[in-house]
Amino acid sequence: MSTNLGPTLPADLVELFSGRDLGQRTGHAYLLVTHGQDGYPHPCIVTPGELVAGDATTLRVALYAESTATRNLRAGSGATLCLVHDGAAWYVKMDPEALIADAPAFEGQAVFTLRTRHVLKDVEPPAEMTSGLGFRIPGDEEAVLARWERMVHALRETFPDQSEVR
């Protein structure tokens, strides 16, 4: 059963979305769900190299500019980030706002500020969630990590107080 913890991310999720230790996060992915004009939920995969927390209530995400998720967010859809962390399923419900960002790392991307509204933790003791979405790119891990680091750096630069995200 899920428990609503309020609008604030716990410290371990802020750290998870900090953009630090990206080498430890290759292969991890999260599910971002928006709602389309057809009324159906639309899932989209987001990696640690595309999402950064500025603080416990504000995240930035970079999505493909022409994606369905981007269209849905621009149309006013709320978003829910779904992930497995530390033995639990987490659902972070957020309100999006498009952000004008022109860093070279954002070419072909749309950047959004996501403000948390509800953070839900879903556990059913004694069961423990052991995995969420994962991926691998055989032989291309270094290129992925380099791209993530450029994107995370650019996302961090969009926050006014850099000390919050370093």
Tens-digit pLDDT profile for residues 119-140: 999 999 999 999 999 888 888 8
Please report which confidence band the pLDDT of residue 160 belongs to, taking 50, 70 and 90 as the band edges: confident
Long-range pairs, 51-55, Cβ under 8 A, ≥24: 51/17, 51/81, 51/155, 52/17, 52/18, 52/19, 52/152, 52/155, 52/156, 52/165, 53/9, 53/13, 53/14, 53/17, 53/18, 53/165, 54/156, 54/159, 54/164, 54/165, 55/14, 55/164, 55/165
Total number of domains constituting the chain: 1
- Residue 44 reports pLDDT greater than 90: yes
What pLDDT is stored for residue 62 in this prediction?
98
What pLDDT is stored for residue 28 in this prediction?
93
What pLDDT is stored for residue 162 in this prediction?
56
Q: What's 24's domain CATH number?
A: 2.30.110.10
Containing structural domain, residue 17:
2-164
